[in-house]
Chain A
């Protein structure tokens, strides 16, 4: 029995080109699920801190500074506060639905990560219908929001829920059209068979030698633009945050929620942001592929790009040490200074580990994927810091009268471009 288990665990490591789901290995699938879950939780915590800090700096404030050096422990303090808060349920609320709604939202937000490809083998599983699965399951989160708003039995949450459902249903259409144009692009190979699998889409970009954002310029770019607008609306973020518009609806659909249940909504919102960003990265920005594989290739460039993850972490550690030197020299800041130095040391150590040849070959793809997603996360914060909120009629106008016709035109033009690509190339080669 013992040997069998050992054999079972080792057998996956020998197959180099399978995801745990593809190999049907339950042990490694569980390990990957736990890793993704932990990684996501850390990302949400980091995102919480970064959002406050970056927004504050955009508005020439300092942001959180009290809890830990530069407010680094603020998210943890907040999490503890939320867990200790009283869990209030309105007397007139529909108890069962009020209970279920936050779990529904979290479930939808986390389940989509089953198919997110962090690398050719670094995904929990590769589904034949990957992108459909992601869009479908993430569209279930709107049900949770509607349930939450309705079950609260209060006016502001109900208005928030109505706005949210109208908004998400409208923008899903434009989003779907942009996605279909990418799926047409994946079918431009010799067999003429496209793919819906997330890993397959990235491999199609690798095979065609271009990220789909640059394919049929400017068609890929337009598709990416439609998706980038629709995904902000889909996650209810500024400038499309009407379902939770603070100035009009208090907090929108989660007005009546408090404590742990509210924190579930928070968690779901941020992991949904990461999820849609990873769809955008996979479909248009080459997923786990490193930048400039055509221009800068060869053994030396491979080595240079494989050093990036380690360099990034070492630089982050160096930044910590720079701030250690800048900390006030007052005795009250002694513990904070030591804590920051320890944090910097940990980051630098992680960076050094990432320089080890065996490790750096394995984490390169995850690093590039995460770096691209992080770019999108920064964009989300940037939007929130700079754009004023849309009015509801403007929101509907953008969705139905601008993005939807654009999406339809894009779909037709992409299909035409794909159809004409080969004949035009042949004609050109004969003429020239």
Chain B
């Protein structure tokens, strides 16, 4: 099997993602932002494919690009765009912004410099054919399934978001 994970593709996709990300926050029109975000998510799916994780890539396209972003667009289209375009785009929270950026940047630098000691040496890699089974084993298997708890906790987070949305939308519960 010839590897498709050449640096060229990585830089191409990473470039698309970064440009998309910048467009998301700089466009005044919310629909344009959402479309830029879709581009970013699709490029991310391609990066998963490059890492021989086709299942994750497929789920990324179905859930994010196909499902969640459609709902985003659905909501944005109901908003009065003319009014939002006149509103201030950035709310000048420089201090918090710098602190958050520094923290994230520090994390990246730490991973880049000390990554070899922070993460286990041997990368778990499946043949492309067994990738989906590999994901299932790590999630559901009686012995090897170590990520079940983390997975369920993450879904609890979504439940909290749903309850929050209901509380905010309904005046009387």
Contacts and interface: CB of A to CB of B under 8 A. Distances in A.
Interface string A132-163: 11011101101100110010000000100110
B131 A128 contact: yes
B2 A169 contact: no
A168 B70 contact: yes
Contacts of A129: 54-55, 57-58, 132
Nearest to B56: A129
B58 A166 contact: no
Contacts of A135: 62
Q: Is the interface of A mostly helix, strand, loop or mixed?
A: helix
B66 A139 contact: yes
A168 B20 CA distance: 26
B118 interface: no
19 contacts: A24-B2, A94-B31, A97-B32, A128-B55, A128-B129, A128-B132, A129-B132, A135-B62, A136-B59, A136-B66, A140-B65, A150-B73, A150-B77, A165-B70, A165-B71, A165-B74, A169-B70, A172-B66, A193-B133
A139 B74 contact: no
Contacts of B71: 165, 169
B6 to A, nearest CB: 16
B129 to A, nearest CB: 6
Interface string B98-128: 0000000000000000000000000000001
A166 B73 CA distance: 11
Contact of A158 (B2, B59, B62, B77): B77
Contacts of B133: 193
Contacts of A139: 61-62, 65-67, 70
Given A97-B31, A132-B59, A193-B133, A169 B67 contact: yes
B54 A128 contact: yes
B69 interface: yes
Contacts of B132: 128-129, 196
A93 interface: no
A127 interface: yes
Interface in B120-168: 128-129, 131-133
Nearest to B57: A129
B38 interface: yes
B134 to A, nearest CB: 11
B62 to A, nearest CB: 4
Contacts of A24: 2
B62 A146 contact: no
Interface in B26-43: 29, 31-32, 35, 38
Given A132-B55, A139-B61, A142-B66, 10 more contacts: A94-B31, A97-B35, A128-B54, A129-B132, A132-B59, A135-B62, A136-B66, A140-B61, A146-B74, A168-B70
Contact of A162 (B31, B77, B131): B77
Contacts of A172: 66-67
Contacts of B65: 136, 139-140, 143
B21 to A, nearest CB: 18
Given A97-B35, A193-B133, A136 B2 contact: no
A118 to B, nearest CB: 22
Contacts of B31: 94, 97, 150
Given A136-B61, A140-B66, A147 B35 contact: yes
A333 B165 CA distance: 69
A142 B73 CA distance: 11
A137 to B, nearest CB: 7
A135 B61 CA distance: 9
Contacts of B131: 128
Nearest to B69: A143
Given A128-B129, A146-B73, A158-B77, A133 B66 contact: no
A132 B129 CA distance: 14
B70 A146 contact: yes
Nearest to B130: A128
Nearest to B127: A128
A161 B77 CA distance: 10
B127 to A, nearest CB: 9
Given A129-B55, A132-B55, A142-B70, A137 B61 contact: yes
B126 to A, nearest CB: 10
Contacts of B58: 129, 132-133, 136
Contact of B54 (A94, A127, A165, A169): A127
A432 to B, nearest CB: 34
A279 to B, nearest CB: 14
Contacts of A143: 38, 65-66, 69-70, 73
Contacts of A165: 70-71, 73-74
Interface in A108-129: 127-129
Contacts of A147: 35
B121 to A, nearest CB: 27
Contacts of A94: 29, 31
Contacts of B54: 127-129
Interface string B45-87: 0000000001101110110011101110110011000000000
Contacts of B59: 132, 136
Contacts of B77: 146, 150, 158, 161-162
Contacts of A169: 67, 70-71, 74
B74 A166 contact: yes
Contacts of B70: 139, 142-143, 146, 165, 168-169
